[in-house]
């Protein structure tokens, strides 16, 4: 073959190669993340805020996680454990997800833990708060708080501010019992006392008789942990309409005056003090950026839309995923994913947080907030901060 014909043939072969499809590099393969939350019914506001926070994280990270594009597959658990279990199984078997996140409450998280463990799929719990959930879930990490975490900071603030006696209304399930126990111990340790309590059925909406018991006990404050949603809205409004504000304070956990409930609670929310792991009012550059983006990307935004503590926990789950996946190519290794997160410290809109190397639970600051009206909007104003115990 002449040199000229050889050169022509070589050029043609090279040109043909450029037209042939190439195998995509592993880092370009999309990550599939399954999200199972309550997106309808009484818990719809919870799911909406989680959706808004996921959209904010993606916007702030150019729709990439761990250097890879993301496919989000969302399913509605309707606050039903068996539904959550079935959906998790379907996402893993049929949709072949790489990572799982969600859990509307403890029962749903337990069901999803079992599926995660069996399938060896990393699972990020973003809302369930009952202690002990990770003990038998080796591939799970929790970015939400633990229910007892609210008791000590709230008790310290209460006693320091003249609240020496508390009557507690708590939801009648394990988290309610844990919250009451933590608050009782913390009040006693700080020189105060829980002078009475009542456990109410989940999804209670009429608190009139329970509020009468509180009134008869004559405490300095009524403490409420009733599960969020309509229950929190109604106890807040009924506390106001029953005239209890004149004789006692209303205090509680973050879900009592969560950002997605404020508009429905109206002026009865004003002055209520809650303990939380997050407040929109938190003063940091990252939080200001997050809140600004969240307001813009949440579906059908309104002037009242603000990220809640649950929304931030979803945001932080994505940050943790980003860190754990960044060094992996192709299929996600569940052991490497969990190991990458042990002891991981990072900045969140709620402040600096650390995933415990042993328990895989979050160490974080807790904040005491007062609901106020600012520039025509309800806001949980940060009035005290408590560093995590060492």
The structural domains of the chain, with segments of one domain joined by +, span 26-145+285-359, 148-276+368-386
> Is there a contact between 211 and 244 (Cβ–Cβ < 8 Å)?
yes
The pLDDT, as a whole number, for residue 222 is: 98
The three-class DSSP label of residue 384 is strand
Segment 206-225 shows an average pLDDT of 97
Residue 19's pLDDT band, with cuts at 50, 70 and 90, is very low
Task: Look up residue 342 and give its two tokens.
Answer: 């042990």
pLDDT reading at 1 higher than 60: no
Segment 320-325 shows an average pLDDT of 97
pLDDT reading at 22 higher than 50: no
Rg (the chain; Cα; Å): 24
Kindly give, in sequence order, each residue whose CB lies less than 8 Å from that of residue 211, ignoring residues fewer than 6 positions away: 169, 222, 235, 238, 239, 242, 244
Classified by CATH at the fold level, domain 148-276+368-386 comes out as: Rossmann fold (3.40.50)
Mean pLDDT of the chain: 91
Cβ-in-10-Å burial (0-12, 13-18, 19+) of 142 comes to buried
Going by DSSP bridges, is the β-strand pair 351-355/345-348 parallel, antiparallel, or unpaired?
antiparallel
The pLDDT, as a whole number, for residue 3 is: 39
The pLDDT, as a whole number, for residue 304 is: 78
Classified by CATH at the fold level, domain 26-145+285-359 comes out as: Rossmann fold (3.40.50)
Segment 188-195 shows an average pLDDT of 98
Segment 297-322 shows an average pLDDT of 93
Q: How far apart are CA 363 and CA 346, in angstroms?
A: 11
The pLDDT, as a whole number, for residue 81 is: 95
Q: Tell me: the pLDDT tens digits for 124-176? A: 999 988 899 999 999 999 999 998 899 999 999 999 999 999 999 999 988 89
pLDDT greater at residue 186 or residue 4: 186
pLDDT reading at 308 higher than 50: yes
Q: Running DSSP on this structure, what letter comes out for residue 21? A: -
Q: How far apart are CA 119 and CA 116, in angstroms?
A: 5
Segment 56-77 shows an average pLDDT of 96
H helices of 190-299, in order, are 208-217, 229-241, 262-265, 285-297
Residue 79's pLDDT band, with cuts at 50, 70 and 90, is confident
Cβ-in-10-Å burial (0-12, 13-18, 19+) of 21 comes to exposed
Segment 247-258 shows an average pLDDT of 95
The pLDDT, as a whole number, for residue 175 is: 86
Kindly give, in sequence order, each residue whose CB lies less than 8 Å from that of residue 262, ignoring residues fewer than 6 positions away: 269, 304, 306, 371, 378
Residue 86's pLDDT band, with cuts at 50, 70 and 90, is very high
- For 4, the enclosing helix (H) or strand (E) is helix 3-19
From the list 105, 37, 23, 111, the residue with the least C-alpha distance to 72 is 37
Residue 303's pLDDT band, with cuts at 50, 70 and 90, is confident
pLDDT reading at 235 higher than 50: yes
């Amino acid at each position: 073959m002449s040199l000229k014909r050889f050169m022509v043939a070589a050029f043609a072969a090279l040109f043909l190669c450029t037209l042939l499809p190439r195998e995509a590099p592993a880092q370009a393969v999309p990550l599939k993340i399954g999200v199972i939350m309550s997106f309808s019914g009484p818990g719809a506001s919870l799911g909406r805020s989680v959706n808004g926070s996921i959209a904010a994280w993606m916007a702030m990270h150019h729709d990439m996680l761990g250097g890879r594009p993301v496919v989000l597959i969302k399913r509605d658990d309707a606050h039903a454990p068996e539904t959550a279990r079935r959906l998790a199984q379907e996402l893993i078997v049929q949709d072949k997800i790489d990572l799982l996140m969600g859990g509307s409450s403890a029962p749903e998280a337990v069901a999803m833990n079992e599926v995660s463990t069996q399938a060896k799929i990393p699972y990020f719990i973003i809302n369930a708060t009952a202690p002990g959930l990770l003990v038998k879930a080796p591939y799970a990490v929790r970015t939400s708080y633990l229910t007892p975490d609210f008791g000590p900071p709230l008790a310290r603030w209460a006693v320091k501010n003249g609240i020496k006696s508390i009557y507690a209304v708590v939801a009648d399930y394990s988290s309610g019992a844990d919250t009451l126990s933590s608050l009782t111990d913390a009040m006693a340790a700080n020189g105060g006392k829980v002078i009475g309590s009542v456990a109410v059925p989940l999804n209670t909406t009429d608190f009139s008789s329970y509020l009468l018991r509180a009134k008869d006990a004559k405490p300095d404050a009524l403490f409420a942990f009733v599960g969020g949603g309509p229950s929190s809205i109604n106890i807040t409004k009924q506390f106001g309409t029953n005239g209890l504000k004149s004789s006692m304070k209303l205090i509680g956990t973050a879900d009592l005056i969560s950002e997605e409930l404020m508009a429905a609670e109206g002026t009865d929310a004003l002055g209520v003090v809650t303990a939380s792991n997050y407040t929109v009012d938190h003063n940091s550059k990252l939080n200001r950026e997050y809140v600004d983006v969240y307001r813009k990307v949440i579906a059908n935004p309104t002037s009242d839309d603000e990220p809640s503590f649950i929304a931030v926990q979803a945001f932080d789950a994505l940050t943790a995923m980003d860190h754990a996946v960044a060094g992996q190519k192709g299929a996600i290794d569940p052991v490497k994913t969990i190991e990458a997160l042990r002891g991981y410290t990072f900045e969140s809109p709620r402040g600096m947080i650390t995933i415990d190397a042993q328990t895989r639970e979050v160490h974080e600051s807790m904040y005491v907030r007062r609901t106020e009206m600012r520039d025509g909007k309800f806001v949980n104003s940060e009035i005290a901060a408590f560093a995590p115990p060492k």
